[in-house]
Amino acid sequence: MTMFNRLIPITLIFLFSQCENSITTEEEKIESSSIEEIQSPIQIIASFTTDTNEHYRGLEVHDNVAVIGGSLGNVMVYDFGKQELRTFFNADGINLRDIDAIADGSHTALGITAPAQILFRAMPSDSFVVVYEGQDSLMFLDGIDYWNDQYGIAFGDPLDGYPLVLYNELYDKKWHRASKKGFPIEASNYAGFAASGTSIKCLEEDVVIIGLGNETAKILRSENRGNNWSLIDVPFHKEPNGTGIYSLAFKNSLNGVAVGGHWQNVKCDSSKVYTVDGGLTWHLSSGIQEYRSCVAYFKEDIYVSTGTTGTDISYDGGKSWTLLDTLGYNAIAFREDGIGIGVGNFGKIDIIKLAENH
């Protein structure tokens, strides 16, 4: 597999350069540190550190803001226009793993703290309310996504002998569990990963794709909005307890990328695959193969993936990958203009930009 003949040099550039631009929240200040700009694939000009006990994994970029969910229940908002980071809401210590924006600026958040919860913030409210709470302490939710900003679907690890999939319809705040009869029996042998809340993706024509794993990776796919499912093989290596798909990103309804691997064995021989038929078949990518917790689509055929050991880039729709830098994040996302954000452990939030040089 070959890359495009035209490779665009890309660097990640942070937006701020002055320590004095510390960010004031409702009750505290979030420290902003600056580092002298260096010539490297990832140029750190400034990064924000909040509570070092909080690990950020939930991330959604839309319009002119980024919404971030943390392990202590803090929901942070970064305003790209005002260049301001602030604490928006605290969900009483709920470990938040996924944040999704839906129509009119409302948001859904997913919490993994037992019992598992789905929270909803309607515009113009400044607070989230619990709209679903699991009745079983063993329930673990991994991700949530929407079709057309209206119809939601969430999933978690198998419970009571079959996959856990929840759905709602058109702002109905009541979530319902999908019937057991719609799943293949073998699907109950695989679980999901909440490393970045991006292992579920709703596509056009009522298609939804979920990344799973166990001793190897699988894709759970539905063409009728979660009523019936098929289990699809993925060309990952086999390794006990933890190998699988951790994140999905799609350019359109046909072309997409999945990344993952094994979070404990980061130096694996397969962690990235791509599809050109809407997830019906998957092909192993070439290039760097190490554990990655998140992949994001940028534009054209450019994707960026990140994880424990670094951040990679693909210019050819996921067919091949090269290492950008050994600096990595739990989750990463971009606006259309190339400005984005990376979030990680110990309160780390970085504002970044993909800069093209022809």
- Domain coordinates in residue numbering, the chain: 10-356
> What pLDDT does residue 188 have?
95
- Average pLDDT along the chain: 84
Contacts made by residues 165-173, CB under 8 angstroms, sequence distance 24+: 165/210, 165/226, 166/118, 166/132, 166/141, 167/225, 167/226, 173/120, 173/131, 173/132
Statement: residue 242 has pLDDT above 80: no
Report the percentage of the chain scoring pLDDT > 70.
85
**Order of strands, sheet of 286-287, starting from the edge strand that comes earlier in the sequence:** 286-287, 320-325, 310-314, 302-307, 294-299
Contact 196, 100 (CB under 8 A): no
> What pLDDT does residue 79 have?
94
Confidence band (pLDDT; 50, 70, 90) for 102? confident
> What pLDDT does residue 9 have?
35
Mean pLDDT, residues 245-257 = 97
The CATH number of 10-356, from 1.10.3210.10, 1.10.1030.10, 3.40.50.2000, 2.130.10.10, is 2.130.10.10
Statement: residue 43 has pLDDT above 80: no
Q: Looking at 87-96, 245-254, 300-309, which range is the least confident one?
A: 87-96
Q: Looking at 21-25, 93-97, 156-160, 252-256, which range is the least confident one?
A: 21-25
Amino acid present at 191? A
More confident residue, 107 or 103: 107
- Whole-model pTM? 0.87
Amino acid present at 102? I
Statement: residue 311 has pLDDT above 70: yes
DSSP 16: -
Contacts of 307 (CB under 8 A, 6+ apart): 259, 261, 266, 290, 291, 292, 293, 294, 328, 329
Statement: residue 336 has pLDDT above 50: yes
Statement: residue 73 has pLDDT above 90: yes
Q: Looking at 50-54, 166-170, 230-234, which range is the least confident one?
A: 166-170
Mean pLDDT, residues 262-285 = 92
What are 24's two structure tokens? 């004031």
Phi, psi (deg, nearest 5) at residue 18 = -120, 130
Statement: residue 81 has pLDDT above 60: yes
Q: Measure the CA angle with vertex 239, ends 235 and 242; round to 5°.
A: 95
Contact 354, 298 (CB under 8 A): yes
Mean pLDDT, residues 67-89 = 93
User: Cis omega before residue 235 (within 30°)?
Assistant: no
DSSP 171: T
> What pLDDT does residue 158 have?
95
Statement: residue 40 has pLDDT above 50: no
> What pLDDT does residue 169 have?
74
3-state secondary structure of 169: coil
Contact 86, 114 (CB under 8 A): no
Report the alpha-carbon distance of residue 168 to residue 174 in Å, rounded. 6
Q: Looking at 101-105, 176-180, 280-284, which range is the least confident one?
A: 101-105
Contact 187, 195 (CB under 8 A): no
Statement: residue 137 has pLDDT above 90: no
What are 11's two structure tokens? 């660097």
Contact 96, 87 (CB under 8 A): no
Mean pLDDT, residues 275-290 = 96
DSSP 189: G
Q: Looking at 30-34, 174-178, 184-188, 227-231, which range is the least confident one?
A: 30-34
Mean pLDDT, residues 330-351 = 92
What are 280's two structure tokens? 């019906």
3-state secondary structure of 318: coil
Based on the number of CB atoms within 10 Å of its own CB, is 60 exposed (0-12), middle (13-18) or buried (19 or more)?
buried
DSSP 103: G
Mean pLDDT, residues 148-157 = 88
Q: Measure the CA angle with vertex 95, ends 90 and 101; round to 5°.
A: 70
Confidence band (pLDDT; 50, 70, 90) for 223? very high
Statement: residue 45 has pLDDT above 50: yes
Contact 347, 50 (CB under 8 A): yes
Based on the number of CB atoms within 10 Å of its own CB, is 245 exposed (0-12), middle (13-18) or buried (19 or more)?
buried
Residue whose entry in the numeric block shows the structure tokens 């009483």: 92
Report the alpha-carbon distance of residue 223 to residue 235 in Å, rounded. 22
Report the alpha-carbon distance of residue 60 to residue 104 in Å, rounded. 15
Q: How many other C-beta atoms are found inside a 10 Å radius of the C-beta of residue 206?
A: 14
